[in-house]
Structure 1
Amino acid sequence: MRKSVSPLPGNEGGSSASTTRVFGVPLEVVTRTHTISGHEVPALVKHIVDYIEEHGLLDLEGLFLVNGNAERVDWLRQRYDSGEEVELEKEADLASAVSLLRLFLQELPEPVIPTAIQGHILQLHQDYSNEEELCRNLKYLLQQLPQLNYCLLRFLCRFLASVASLQQESWNIGTLAAVFGPDIFHLSTEGEDLRDQESVSRVLTELLDNQEGLFDSEEDDVSTTNDYSSINEQVLTVALCF
């Protein structure tokens, strides 16, 4: 069960432009202003996943490794940011839709897994070789995430695990983890981040392999008080308990 937390703050004083934009704005803002009733993930993410599941799951080979047309992706981004209604079935292709999803994740001001907790999650793989202990402590750390980050991460992991279950032998969970890990953790392809990519891929593989046990069901979701200002203190407490 997730901890009970306060509702999201209002948008007092926000401009119409800031409430229209979808890309490059905080997750709590885009979820508040662009969401589908009954879902705690941004509408853009839900639209893209629904589109891929409806049109792309029968022809997955290479889909997540092929970049969409840059001009079309930018055009779709501008459409979403201007508040227009976008019909992906008519205006996009599968590769562009995947690229649009990855771009959204990359441009979040704070990663889906916030920087304050990333190091602690990555450290678990070094501290625990026992699968049961690793999953137990990983689940505990995931529950320290802000509610909206938790819901988005769960949604993405369930989608990617579903994709992996339909892949041919050459495509597996590890491949998807290597593709989406840098987007979820905000890693670059240079320097220290490049060295961290292997650890990130291992962690995301663990999340996808065990997503049913690591994440609570939507029925268990309640509002939480977890936020970025308190997460460091919470994680430190968790780390000291390991």
Structure 2
Amino acid sequence: MFTECWFCEELRIQPPDPLVWYDVTQSQGEGGGPREAPEVCALPDQAPVALHRLIEALERRGLESEPLYRTTPASTGPPELRQALDTDPVSVDVDQYDLTVLSDSLRGFLQDLPSPIIPAVVYSELVYTAQETQSVEECGEKLKRILESPSVPQANHQLLVHLTRHLVRVAQSGAQNQASPRILGQTFSEAIFKHSHFCADVNPEHHVKIMEALIAAGGLVEMQAAPGWFWKEHQC
């Protein structure tokens, strides 16, 4: 829920309403049959695979060779690489491209994804947590628990696992003047939250803090979602 804040010019997010769970394996619709699971705006299944291929190629070159992600990308990557990542990410030869092209392509790939990386059902809770939690480390742990929700589609969660763990390694690398979690948060927040609902009404600083806190907390971890559980409501 969004309300006007009398002490600032931004809209503040109030605590999200409690969310109701139900088990789709037990829920019934009309006629006694199983109720269909709510529609989820998930990323394409190949999205985390494509991102992982780019990250592997970048990290094989060595994160200590030169700082990454500290400047605005000159482009979103070669069209042929972008097309290959969209159609057959497993087979694309990413090692033929240099470090700058790969890093630009990674950011361009995230920027051009067709649906939100952060599902609407957890967006308000993430922003509220960033807004109300002062400690970056504590904020990061809370954000990780929110993103472990079964309401986050597997492809979205897997992509965030790959990205945040990569950014942790970038921040911890020995490259001189390497980007800090704060700088990496500023660099990637726009791409991550580009399609998020209500993001135009939220202070972009909250988006930056979400990314910074996730990186400072060590990134997301792999998890096995419990089958059959969904939030009662999904929004696209």
Is TM-score (shorter-chain normalized) higher than 0.5?
A: yes
* 1:123 aligned partner: 128
Measure the CA separation in 2 of the matches of 1:125 and 1:63.
23
Q: How far did residue 76 of structure 1 move?
A: 1.3
Contact 2:70 2:183 in 1 (8 A): no
Measure the CA separation in 1 of the matches of 2:74 and 2:228.
38
Measure the CA separation in 1 of the matches of 2:159 and 2:42.
9
The 3-state SS of whatever aligns with 1:163 is: helix
Measure the CA separation in 1 of the matches of 2:68 and 2:137.
33
1:173 equivalenced with 2:178 (yes/no): no
Contact 1:146 1:226 in 2 (8 A): no
Deviations 1:87-106 (A, max 9, x none): 1212x222221222222222
Q: Which amino acid is 1:55 matched to?
A: R
1:75 equivalenced with 2:83 (yes/no): no
Question: Higher strand fraction: Structure 1 or Structure 2?
Answer: 2
Q: Gapped runs of 5+ residues in structure 2?
A: 1-20, 25-40
Q: How far did residue 108 of structure 1 move?
A: 2.2
* 2:207 aligned partner: 200
Q: How far did residue 231 of structure 1 move?
A: 4.3
1:58 equivalenced with 2:61 (yes/no): no
Relative distance call for 1:135 and 1:59 in structure 2 (3 A) is: closer
Relative distance call for 1:156 and 1:229 in structure 2 (3 A) is: farther
Question: For the aligned residues, what is the CA RMSD?
Answer: 3.4
Contact 2:55 2:166 in 1 (8 A): yes
Contact 1:187 1:194 in 2 (8 A): no
1:211 equivalenced with 2:218 (yes/no): yes
Measure the CA separation in 1 of the matches of 2:86 and 2:159.
20
Deviations 1:127-170 (A, max 9, x none): 23366764554333212222322222122111101000014346
Measure the CA separation in 2 of the matches of 1:227 and 1:95.
40
Q: Which amino acid is 2:73 matched to?
A: N
The 3-state SS of whatever aligns with 1:60 is: coil
Which of residues 88, 95, 106 in structure 1 aligns to 2:100? 95
Q: Gapped runs of 5+ residues in structure 1?
A: 7-25, 35-40, 233-242
Measure the CA separation in 2 of the matches of 1:62 and 1:76.
19
Q: Which amino acid is 1:149 matched to?
A: N
Relative distance call for 1:174 and 1:75 in structure 2 (3 A) is: same
Measure the CA separation in 1 of the matches of 2:137 and 2:105.
36
Larger Rg: 2
Identity of aligned residues (%): 24
Measure the CA separation in 2 of the matches of 1:151 and 1:133.
22
* 2:6 aligned partner: none
Contact 1:105 1:184 in 2 (8 A): yes
Relative distance call for 1:136 and 1:101 in structure 2 (3 A) is: closer
TM-score (norm 1): 0.64
The 3-state SS of whatever aligns with 2:116 is: coil
Contact 1:160 1:176 in 2 (8 A): yes
1:142 equivalenced with 2:150 (yes/no): no
Measure the CA separation in 2 of the matches of 1:229 and 1:196.
28
Measure the CA separation in 1 of the matches of 2:126 and 2:111.
19
